[in-house]
Amino acid sequence: MTDSAHETSRISARGLTKYFRDGAGTTHVLDDIDLTVGRGEFVSILGPSGCGKSTLLHMVAGLEEPTDGQILVDGSPDRLGSSSLMPQRDLLMPWKKVADNVALAPIARGIPRKEARRAAAAVLNRFGLEGFIDAYPSQLSGGMRQRAALARTFLAGSEILLLDEPFSSLDSLTRIQMQTWLLHIWHTSSSSVLFVTHDVEEAVRLSDRVYVLSRRPARVVAEIAVDLPRPREYGATLTPAFTELKRRALAFLHLDEEHRP
């Protein structure tokens, strides 16, 4: 990675290494990782379960610090609050209505509750949940809860979104529908997205580029450019070009499996 790319990307990591140390010893999680996310770009991190993908995302968000290496967000090492993180679980508060859940970030910034709820209602309308503003999370389907959680992430106000396997708990049909919906929302925004997944098809379908990580300690074993036309409906996954990209990603993942000690 050149110095100019490191400094001008919305997200960049160089030489990123992470160890966790406790009374039981030392765990080497990430090993010398370089990655970038450009303005308006959708980039996925693909790797096996437990390889450190979520740890990497938390470091970009400023919730964890690297043992070695550097992470810049918009050219600055001060990352906390510079991006919006959506974890795997929706974490909606069951005692709050959907609009109040979505309005949490602006309320925390000091915006009056009524004004924040109006902003939340507008975002929920954009996200196809206009009829559920005053519903409680228990009244929503799994896909609707994920949409509400993503609406909350968007309303947090950052143009940099960090999405940690947001669809992993959904059934396959709902997951495909959510992928289509997310692509539409992203295409109509100016957001840069760093998306964590262990699903090869999901990574290829959504992304401009895919970083393939090894097992822990994770390292980048491939960077795959996805040069398929957009918008990308699900039918794109049935084309020979898509199948070839998926085959390449699987080959790198399987290569790592073959080199286990």
The structure tokens listed for 85 are: 């993180």
18 CB burial (10 A radius; 0-12, 13-18, 19+)? buried
Which residues, 6+ apart, have CB-to-CB distance to 243 below 8 Å?
A: none
Q: What share of the chain is helix, strand, coil (3-state, %, to 5)?
A: 40, 25, 35
Inter-helix orientation angle 113-126/142-155, to 10°: 120
The domains of the chain are located at 3-83+160-258, 90-157
Question: Could you tell me if 33 and 218 are in contact, meaning their C-beta atoms sit under 8 angstroms apart?
Answer: yes
Helices (H), 83-133: 98-102, 104-108, 113-126
**pTM given for the model:** 0.88
Question: Could you tell me if 193 and 43 are in contact, meaning their C-beta atoms sit under 8 angstroms apart?
Answer: yes
What are the pLDDT tens digits along the chain (261 aa)?
555 445 568 999 999 999 998 777 889 999 999 999 999 999 999 998 888 999 999 999 999 999 999 999 999 999 888 888 888 788 889 999 999 999 988 888 888 888 989 888 988 888 788 889 999 999 998 888 888 988 888 888 788 999 999 888 888 888 888 898 889 889 888 899 999 998 999 999 999 999 999 998 999 999 999 999 998 899 999 999 999 999 999 999 876 554 443
Buried b / exposed e across 90-115, counting CB within 10 Å, b at 16+? Answer: bebeeeebbbbbbbbbbeeeeeeeee
C-alpha 198: how far from its chain's center? 12
What does DSSP assign to residue 218?
B
pLDDT value of position 54: 92
Q: At the topology level of CATH, where does 3-83+160-258 sit?
A: Rossmann fold (3.40.50)
